[in-house]
Amino acid sequence: MARGKITPYEVGSFSPSAVGVSQENQSGQIVSQGIAAIGKALIAREDASNTLEAMNQFGSFELAYQQKKIDLQKQYVNDPAKYPEAVRNAGLELADSMSGSMGSSSAKKFRQMTSSSLSQDVPNSMKWYFTRDSEIQVGKITSIKQNLALQASTVASAKDLEAIKVNFTKASTEATKLIDKESDTKLTEQYWKLAKTQAMSAQVFAQPMKLMRELEGGTYDKLLTPEEKLTWKNKARDAVYNRAIDDQYRTMFMAQGKLLDFQNGIENGTFTIADLVNEREAAYANRNKTDVTGKPIVSQEYIKGLDNLIDITLYAKQRVPGVKEARAASLKDFDTEWDQYLQEKKMSKQGPSEQDVEKELGMYAKLSGLYRNGDISKDDFDRHIAIMRTKLSLRQGQKARVRSFSEAIDQAGTVPTLWWRTPGNDVVSLGYQMIKSYVDTAYRELGTDERRDLKAQMLSQYHQKIQAEPEDNISKLATENERRQFASERVKGVLNEKGFRIGGIINTNVTYTEPETGKVYQIGDIGVKNGYKVRFTGKDPETGTPTWKFVPGQIVTNANGQQGLVQDDGSIKRL
């Protein structure tokens, strides 16, 4: 160390007091995150709970609101303009009422839902209002037009109908202020068509002749289409001809439903007056017969109905001028022939003879033919038969020179001997005997006079058959057996190749032999056809086919599958 030199003290580096700061303590933030999470969860839970409560209440609100709407629709059905406001107020009141018991948050959500729902429903309310209002207007207009159409039922002329058409036009002018033109046009077309139908129907009913002439004269040209004119002209013409018939038919149908088939048959041409007469005679001949239950197989009403139908049909036919004249001529011819017959007997000073039977049966057949053809009425027929029975002399007190008709019938088939009459064995007598024997056997329940009439019908038919037979066919019959066989074929018919009897006066009139079983049916007998019980009512005189009626009390089904119950009068009541 150098002398006089002092070692200085060397100060080291400065040691700072500031050593930095600690990192930020984020405990609070970290814990706050957790608290926030649980708070958020609690909020979400409460929110979900509130939403659930609000939705639950909203469901109840919707139900109550819809019911309220229905009630209000009923209340304002005739005043729909007030409906939208009423339904909105009702909705708000309902929402207020239902939210009262809810917590504030739930209530808030509920009100949000109801407000939205009510707002969305406003168009529906308005739509109901417009629709209902339109319905009311259309209803009013429809009512007006219906009334116009109904007024048409009082129309008595084309002028009246034209006035109604003008009213339709006026109504349309007013209507188009309330409803659209298309709807009005549709209504007008519908009810104008109805009005025309009403008007024309009324006139067809009230004054068909006048209507027919006006239609032909062009009075309705501006009101009806050509097709309508043709239709109504035909209806008017039919009404002119059938009016009287229709009235009587209507009355008759109410009492005698089973005659409907005959009436329809007469109308459509499948039945003739001869069918009706045959049916009537067959029914009349069997009126005292009873079935197994003891009930009459033919009701008196049925016979009366047939008589009515015959009368109506004859009446209609005889209204035709040609037929009317033919009727008069036929009756005049008959009277002339009868008088001539009596006159000849008188002039020739002949007494009653065997030829009387032939003559009188011939005239009976002619009279019967006129009746069956509808040329004369039943009254005409009965009156002239009565004449044949009683008009034996030309003057009162004069001795009868002809055999009475009744006597002729009773003696038919017999020939006189020295002391009494014996059965003849000629063709005519044998046939007469067969017929009389059959009627006496089969119709024991009838009185003498009625059996005599029935015999007269059949005898006259046989008489006609013999008259129509060529002379050679009869003259060649040498033996009685041949003649009996000849007569039997015409009276009882012949067996065909299938083994059942066809033709013959007896068969044609009153019996039917079933080909499958060989069973012989008389009128009123019950059999089974297609699974149903049926009663034999006779035969078609033209075709020979049997006619049947359902036995009452059973359910029958037609080809279309419709079922009906057979009534006591034979009609079928649809089920």
Structure tokens at 173: 């002018």
Report the interhelical angle of 300-319 vs 260-268 (nearest 10°).
20
Q: Which residues contact 344 (CB under 8 A, 6 or more apart)?
A: 350
Instruction: Give the whole-angstrom CA distance, residue 506 versus residue 443.
Output: 12
What minimum distance in Å lies between the beta carbon of 52 and another protein? 15
3-state SS assignment for residue 365: helix
Using CB under 8 A, pick the residue from 19, 292, 418, 559 that binds another protein: 19
Q: How many other CB atoms sit within 10 Å of the CB of residue 40?
A: 10
| Size of site (CB under 8 A) for another protein | 36
In the bound state with another protein, the residue whose beta carbon lies nearer, of 15 and 441, is 15
The answer to whether residue 49 forms part of the interface with another protein (CB under 8 A) is no
In whole angstroms, the minimum distance from the beta carbon of 32 to another protein comes to 9
Please compute Rg for the chain using Cα positions.
51
- Choose between 11 and 528: whose C-beta lies nearer to another protein: 11
Binding mask 110-139 for another protein (x = CB under 8 A): ------------------------------
Q: How far is CA 148 from the centre of its chain?
A: 29
- Start-end of H helices in 2-26: none
Residue with smaller CB distance to another protein, 6 or 478 = 6
The 454-483 contact track toward another protein, x by CB under 8 A, reads: ------------------------------
Q: How far is the CB of 137 from another protein (least distance, A)?
A: 60
| Three-state DSSP state, 45 | helix
CA dihedral angle for residue 326, residue 331, residue 334, residue 335, rounded to 10 degrees:
-140
Cβ atoms of 570 and 549 within 8 Å: the answer is yes
Does position 559 interact with another protein (CB under 8 A)? The reply is no
Rule CB under 8 A: is residue 17 a binding residue for another protein?
Answer: yes
Residue 52 within binding range of another protein, rule CB under 8 A? no
Interface mask toward another protein for 24-43; x: CB under 8 A: xxxxx-xx-xxx-xxxxxx-
The minimum distance between CB 50 and another protein, in angstroms, equals 15
- How far apart CA 473 and CA 163 sit, in angstroms, is 78
45 belongs to the binding site for another protein (CB under 8 A): yes
Closer of 37 and 255 to another protein (Cβ): 37
DSSP 349: T
Q: Indicate the residue type of 162.
A: E
In the three-class reduction of DSSP (H, G, I as helix; E, B as strand; rest coil), residue 397 is classed as: coil
CB of 119 to another protein, least distance (A): 35
Nearer to another protein, 33 or 355 (CB): 33
* Smallest distance, another protein to C-beta of residue 2, A: 10
CA atoms within 13 Å, Cβ hemisphere of 35: 6
Angle at 375 between CA 363 and CA 205, to 5 degrees: 160
Cβ-based nearer residue to another protein, 39 or 139:
39
Give the nearer residue to another protein in terms of CB position, either 24 or 471: 24
**CA 251 vs CA 239, 259, 466, 569: distances in Å:** 17, 12, 43, 15
H or E segment and range at residue 546: strand 546-550
Stretch that binds another protein, among 6-14, 214-222, 249-257, 544-552 (CB under 8 A): 6-14
Shortest Cβ distance from residue 61 to another protein (Å)?
29
Q: Which is nearer to another protein, 45 or 421 (CB)?
A: 45
Residue 70 CB, nearest approach to another protein (Å): 42
Which residues of the chain form contacts with another protein (CB under 8 A)?
Answer: 1, 3-7, 9, 11-12, 14-28, 30-31, 33-35, 37-42, 45
